[in-house]
């Protein structure tokens, strides 16, 4: 009887550790595109788009780790890169995103476009770069820093993947 109880307890413990905590993406960094798709929840879409009906999220093509989500012609693309040093991240920001503003609470460092059209975050040699293409800007519920903060929540989940 003790042996069966122990097996059941161990099985439950192992199953419980496989579940993500609230606010944590499921999956691993090695399979970050799948984790990205899982992180784009209906609640996230409803917080960003005025009309999230018909939204779809797909993995990016091989070699372009991450995912792309959208409603109609409005697109949000997450790109997840490994082995990006802090110096490389800073160099790219200076060269291409000198107008971006700092955003606290996302990764070890993050910068966003004032209009909310982009976010670049870095943590522990990983980066999460987000591009927002609102062909119908009227469909976005939030923009600017509020949108960058919401995108940063997804980046934080993905950058924390084991």
| 26 has a pLDDT exceeding 80 | no
The predicted structure's pLDDT at residue 67: 97
CA distance 158 to 78: 10
List the one residue out of 75, 52, 49 whose CA is nearest residue 139: 49
Query: pLDDT of 74-128, one tens digit each?
Result: 899 999 999 899 999 999 999 998 899 999 999 999 999 998 889 999 999 999 9
**For position 24, what pLDDT does the model report?**
55
Q: Can you give the pLDDT at residue 144?
A: 93
| Cβ within 8 Å of residue 142, ≥6 positions away | 47, 48, 116, 150
Which residue range(s) make up the domain with 92? Answer: 2-159
List the structure tokens of 161: 């993947």
Number of helical H runs and strand E runs in the chain: 5, 7
Weakest-pLDDT range from 6-10, 84-88, 132-136, 137-141: 6-10
Q: Name residue, tokens 């990764």.
A: 107
Total domain count for the chain? 1
Q: What is the pTM of this model?
A: 0.82
Q: What percent of the chain has pLDDT over 70?
A: 85
**DSSP assignment letter at 140:** B
| Whole-number pLDDT of residue 12 | 30
Report the CATH number that the domain containing residue 146 is assigned in CATH: 3.40.1000
pLDDT of residue 138: 87
Cα separation, 16 vs 18, in Å, equals 5
């Amino acid at each position: 009887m003790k042996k069966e109880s122990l097996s059941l307890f161990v099985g439950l413990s192992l199953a419980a550790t496989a579940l993500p905590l609230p606010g944590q993406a499921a999956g691993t960094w090695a399979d970050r595109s799948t984790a990205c798709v899982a992180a784009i929840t209906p609640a996230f879409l409803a917080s960003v788009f005025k009309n999230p009906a018909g939204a779809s999220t797909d993995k990016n093509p091989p070699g372009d780790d991450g995912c792309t989500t959208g409603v109609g012609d409005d697109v949000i693309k997450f790109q997840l890169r490994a082995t990006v040093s802090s110096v490389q991240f800073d160099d790219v920001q200076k060269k291409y995103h000198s107008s971006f503003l700092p955003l606290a609470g996302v990764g070890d460092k993050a910068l966003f476009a004032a209009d909310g059209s982009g976010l670049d975050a870095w943590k522990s040699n990983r980066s999460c770069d987000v591009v927002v293409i609102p062909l119908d800007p009227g469909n976005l519920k939030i923009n600017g820093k509020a949108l960058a903060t919401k995108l940063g929540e997804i980046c934080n989940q993905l950058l924390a993947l084991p």
